[in-house]
A and B are shown apart, each in its own frame.
Chain A
Amino acid sequence: MGELMASYLSEPIEAPITAEEQKPRTSQGEKPPLPPSSEEKQEIELRGLGSDGRAWLGCSFEKFGERCEYEGKERMRRVELSLNQTQKLRLQRALQKLESLSSKANSDASVTVADNIPVNYDDGVLKGHGTSELDGQVVATLCGVVERVNKLVYVRSLRSRYKPDTGDIIVGRVVEVAQKRWKIDINANQDAVLMLSSMNMPDKIQRRRTAVDELNMRNIFEECDVICAEVRNLQHDGTIQLQARSEKYGKLDRGQLLTVPCYLVKRRKQHFHQLEQYGVTLVLGCNGFIWVGEHINVNAEDSMLEDQLNKPPENIDAKTNIFDEGDQTHTELETRQNICRIANAVRVLSTLGFTITIEVIVEILDLSKSLNLNIHDMLGAEFCVLVAEREAGRRSLSTKRKG
């Protein structure tokens, strides 16, 4: 029996090439046989839309009689805007500049599933998350980047759900009101649990929670309410327990909740930001949920909470009642516009994949105001490219100062 070998017709997909690299490639010696009308196919085209409207850039040409696909860099693909040619080039330049400035991540450190992790076995090694042992060798079980801390070797995944740590400030949405607890969705593997005993009672008295308190849970938080809390601890089976005992935690209303990838929000000292001059409160949750809302004074909040408790029977009545009390809950137009501007600033940062910090948000806000942009124009392609260029310029300036 001869050797039975299966073979694949075309070569495996090669490394991605950017728009600039595309052109010189054809002039090199090793040119694949191209069909006559290949010239237009050489350009990077905005090819079709992904199932969610994401723009796919790519070009195709014939090689050995088979269609092969080459696509531009991953980062371009993630931008969900329709950019014209100049904007594409500008954005690419800005992103490349940023990449060259940032500390170059060692590409050798990235592994895929079941790759061997090079380890110095003489020192002894602690196998951390994302690793396992096979035939005396350490292999990765995740796709990600290998991190080493002394003897600990672990694989950090590039895309995964939020992994909570004790003390993280998070923003979440109430999913369920259960026995003596609320179930909160915080974009982690499981829903987090906020016990009734970890929540301040409206009357501020420290006391045991009675059955009446349990029945009145819905007056404090209901389904679909947005709250902010702190991670109290993680149980051994992965249950996340929250606590909201401080004044700054609790229900958030009159604002917008934004979802960004959780790795864009780094752990800092301050997650609550009051922007007095705009009248806006900004809460950067570590889980990637960001709250932008109207800034309410703490004293007024207490009295409003009590009013809410006393109001329930009235709310069941005709809806016109609510409009009568509209003055109390009316937010000024300017505050609302500021809230929308800040929310759009966060959306632009999320689209570009930049780390979200209060300084950057305020910068973008000032930029948009100085340009007198309409609020909805902030989501357009032009502003996106502007922000990227500005960030590249700012970082190159700071590295020049350092160096």
Chain B
Amino acid sequence: MATKASASPSTYSPSTRRRKQERPNIKDPDWVRSDGRGFHQCRPAFLRTGAVNAAAGSAYAEFGNTKVIVSVFGPRESKKAMMYSDIGRLNCNISYTTFATSIRGQGSDHKEYSSMLHKALEGAIILESFPKTTVDVFALVLESGGSDLPVVISCASLALADAGIMMYDLVAAVSVSCLGTNLIIDPVLEEESYQDGSLMITFMPSRNEVTQMTITGEWSTQKIHEAMELCLDACSKLRTIMSSCLKEAAFASNE
């Protein structure tokens, strides 16, 4: 990339030339994913509960370059929950740090993701167990490396379990990207940028129930079936990793 010699060293002037994201030739049979994974291989998962001391429950998740920390507060009284209701309220908020993306951003709330997180979790939580009160879920994306929302959802359900909130089952979420004729699971940021469509499923494996399914782009029926099978299988495997994480946390803190 040609450097601008005219700019003085103390000021920063963004490049006016937009770097075109070159879509690699995915029809090429030799095309391999940038991190060397197979098409149906997910990133290694690192999960840990109890990251935030001040919160009732918290969890930290690292899936490759995507790093997320979720803290759960509650059940507690909320000024918004003044009206009597015999079920609890769930309040979700996802925000990105300013350093989460490769270009420094604003670091604002992501309202769309927040409502999607809400929909994914509310099917799994037993809201009748905390009437008149509110559970707050705050997710902070420390680094966005692709497939952010599924990681946030899985991490949030771990944090809720850590906080001692009654749930039907842990929620595991995985997304699948469609690139031409190929289906790749757990896409990275650059793969997401040239995807043709995406499908995300949040799944409760023990109950065999899907709490949320999100499809964008162009899909044929057969592709949807394939992608769903992939996702459900990956979710089950992710669920075992999540429960082993909880088990070791519980085992270690047993006196």
Contact = CB atoms under 8 A, between A and B. Distances in A.
B232 to A, nearest CB: 9
B162 interface: yes
A145 B247 CA distance: 11
Given A50-B53, A190-B133, A8 B251 contact: no
Given A50-B51, A114-B206, A141-B166, A4 B76 contact: no
Interface string A111-131: 011110000000000000010
B42 A6 contact: yes
B190 interface: no
A52 B131 contact: no
B229 A8 contact: no
Contacts of B74: 189
Contacts of B241: 8, 12-13
B41 interface: yes
Contact of A54 (B53, B226, B244): B53
A54 B37 CA distance: 34
B203 to A, nearest CB: 12
B170 A6 contact: no
A144 interface: yes
A238 interface: yes
Interface stretch (A156-164, A218-226, A309-317): A156-164
A190 B41 CA distance: 45
A158 B76 contact: no
Interface stretch (A72-80, A202-210, A247-255, A356-364): A72-80
B50 A74 contact: yes
Interface centre among A78, A105, A144, A189 (most CB of B within 10 A): A189
A105 B44 contact: no
A68 B241 CA distance: 13
Interface in A54-104: 54, 66-69, 71, 73-75, 77-78, 80, 99, 102
A141 B126 contact: yes
B133 A114 contact: no
Interface string A201-240: 0000000000000000000000000000000000001100
Contact of A4 (B75, B229, B243, B247): B229
Interface string B224-255: 00100111011001101101111111111111
Q: Is the interface of B mostly helix, strand, loop or mixed?
A: mixed
A141 B52 contact: no
B146 interface: no
Contacts of A15: 248, 251
A8 B44 CA distance: 6
B234 A75 contact: no
A52 B42 contact: no
A51 B248 contact: no
B233 A159 contact: no
A73 B206 contact: no
B167 interface: yes
A157 B166 CA distance: 10
Interface in B69-83: 69, 74-77
A321 interface: no
A160 B75 CA distance: 9
Interface in A7-23: 7-10, 12-13, 15-16
6 contacts: A8-B45, A9-B37, A13-B46, A73-B252, A114-B170, A159-B164
Interface of B: 37-38, 40-48, 50-54, 56-57, 69, 74-77, 84, 86, 126, 130-133, 161-170, 174, 185, 204, 206-207, 226, 229-231, 233-234, 237-238, 240-241, 243-255
Given A4-B40, A191-B77, 13 more contacts: A6-B237, A7-B42, A12-B244, A13-B244, A13-B248, A16-B248, A50-B51, A51-B51, A51-B69, A52-B53, A74-B248, A237-B84, A237-B131
